[in-house]
Chain A
Amino acid sequence: MDKETHIFHDEYTTESSTDTPSEPPNQPPKRKNEEKQQEQTVSGQTDYDKSKPRRVIIKAREIEQ
């Protein structure tokens, strides 16, 4: 972390969650076949529904000045 600005440097920041195609908040739940389509388009990534609360964990290393 930059001690003067207190801003994490991007290159040392990782998020445990990955972005997936989103839907507007609080849309009615998807039907099964729609869910399957979404899974196929983002294969290999964590699939989650952005209309529900989700947890993100960020890890960052402090930079020595």
Chain B
Amino acid sequence: MKVRISKPPLRVSQGDIYRDIEFIEYVVEKEGIIEVSKIIFPLVIVLTQDCDLEQDYKIRYPKTPPQTQDKLILSVLVAPIYNAEHVYLGEHLEQIEINMRQIDRKHTEGNYLINNKLPRYHYLDFSPQLQIAPSVIDFKHYFSVNANYLRKKRSDFVCQVSPLFREDISQRFASYLARIGLPDIKKKATS
């Protein structure tokens, strides 16, 4: 995979990778005490279409005042990136008390993961400059973050996946989301 390592860009783009992004699980208020639970993801990748992000930026920071704010987006879609080693061991979510299954790297499934043949995952190998271990995007764990929040996290910008490689990720994510869950006919027939 090819990435651009540069200063934080002016706007959020598809394929941007940011560190320490917060996902708000819930906010409750009881007797004047407000409780906020959040999960902090070490790395995430932006999945929202780049044209949407570009139009949103033009509306938020216009050269001339726009007539409408029709193209403004409320949130940006991201997916977490996990350390591949932790994914193989099924330990990547242990700190948020979620048990994940192991993937045997020496067998077929492990090879499928590396070669991006498992629809749920996308394997990433970073340039040595970045000092990030081989990682895996988990499309099932996608979530949204506030657009302004992400813009303010520019200091946590890591790198940007280059065109074509990011389109590959986007296309695989779209395909994963659009999958059709068919009922298990064999199980239904026996019950």
Contacts and interface: CB of A to CB of B under 8 A. Distances in A.
A8 B32 CA distance: 13
Interface string A36-52: 00000000000011111
A1 to B, nearest CB: 7
A54 interface: yes
B96 A54 contact: yes
A50 B156 CA distance: 15
Interface of A: 1, 8, 24-29, 48-62
The 6 A-B pairs with the shortest beta carbon distances in the complex, nearest first, are: A25-B42, A26-B83, A58-B36, A54-B95, A28-B133, A26-B133
Given A26-B43, A26-B83, A62-B32, A53 B93 contact: yes
Nearest to A50: B42
Contacts of B19: 25
Contacts of A29: 83, 85-86, 89
A57 B95 CA distance: 13
Given A25-B132, A58-B35, 12 more contacts: A25-B20, A25-B43, A26-B132, A28-B133, A48-B95, A51-B86, A52-B94, A55-B95, A56-B39, A58-B36, A60-B34, A62-B33
A37 B174 CA distance: 44
B91 to A, nearest CB: 8
Contact of B40 (A1, A56, A62): A56
Contacts of B37: 55-58
Nearest to A1: B34
A49 B95 contact: yes
Contact of A51 (B29, B36, B42): B42
A29 B133 CA distance: 10
Interface centre among A1, A27, A53 (most CB of B within 10 A): A53
Contacts of A53: 39-42, 80, 92-93, 95-96
B92 A52 contact: yes
A52 B133 contact: no
Contact of B96 (A1, A8, A55, A58): A55
